[in-house]
Chain A
Amino acid sequence: NAGVTQTPKFQVLKTGQSMTLQCAQDMNHNSMYWYRQDPGMGLRLIYYSASEGTTDKGEVPNGYNVSRLNKREFSLRLESAAPSQTSVYFCASSEQALWANEQFFGPGTRLTVL
């Protein structure tokens, strides 16, 4: 039982390049989330998927797109990377998108945009 896995672990991009961050969970959770973590700002929600087939914007969605490929997988795409997107990205999942549910986090992807 791997929990939440993310690939890649590290990535360096040049401004304007695109990339997709992959996330998968094996806990049969319905809901999945993408956060970014910046120093002194905690974690901020980019997008979430309450259930397979649905996605919604979070606090900081600009410059990102997501795809809920199936129940297990939730990807985050940067179409044209900018230095402001340098951050650590975390994927999380929970049994339901309910306010009491614990979220389980992946190990993160460290992205640098030059």
Chain B
Amino acid sequence: AQSVTQLDSQVPVFEEAPVELRCNYSSSVSVYLFWYVQYPNQGLQLLLKYLSGSTLVKGINGFEAEFNKSQTSFHLRKPSVHISDTAEYFCAVSSHAGGTSYGKLTFGQGTILTVHP
């Protein structure tokens, strides 16, 4: 079984400050990791994903995340946030355990990022 824990339910920051949204996962097999963003009253859209290779992954809107296998973490970072980054962010994991375990994402609880002027 796989699970995802987002360590902060809400993160308030000021505009132009750096931000880190924390995500830890557990899985007994190899994983693929994703960050999705949900703007108010909209569906989710993909920010970035880690499949393999470099552990530092760059996504859209200046976000990046680092895969750390030893700490089972996939934290999302941005060096300077904007008001428009206010949204809810979801970390998700997909793992392959054979059988029918295809393409099913397990989501974290979500982190609400609020950027203040």
> Which positions in A face B, CB cutoff 8 Å?
4, 31, 40-45, 48, 50, 56, 58, 90, 92, 94, 96-108
In the assembled complex, how far is the CB of residue A109 from the closest CB belonging to chain B, in whole angstroms?
10
Kindly supply a per-residue 1/0 record for chain B positions 27-62, scoring 1 wherever the CB is within 8 Å of any chain A CB and 0 otherwise.
000001010100001111110010100000000000
In the assembled complex, how far is the CB of residue B53 from the closest CB belonging to chain A, in whole angstroms?
12
A40 close to B102 (CB less than 8 A): no
Cα distance A105–B9 in the bound complex, in angstroms: 22
In the assembled complex, how far is the CB of residue A47 from the closest CB belonging to chain B, in whole angstroms?
11
| Number of inter-chain CB pairs below 8 Å | 66
A56 close to B100 (CB less than 8 A): yes
Cα distance A21–B50 in the bound complex, in angstroms: 32
A90-B43, A105-B43 are known contacts. Are A43 and B103 too (CB-CB below 8 A)?
A: no
Cα distance A106–B36 in the bound complex, in angstroms: 13
A107 close to B104 (CB less than 8 A): no
Q: Which listed segment binds A: B12-20, B63-71, B72-80, B106-114?
A: B106-114
The residue on A at minimum CB distance from B51 is A100
Q: Which residues of A contact B43 (CB under 8 A)?
A: 4, 90, 92, 105-108
The residue on B at minimum CB distance from A9 is B41
Q: Which residues of A contact B108 (CB under 8 A)?
A: 42
Q: Which residues of A contact B87 (CB under 8 A)?
A: none
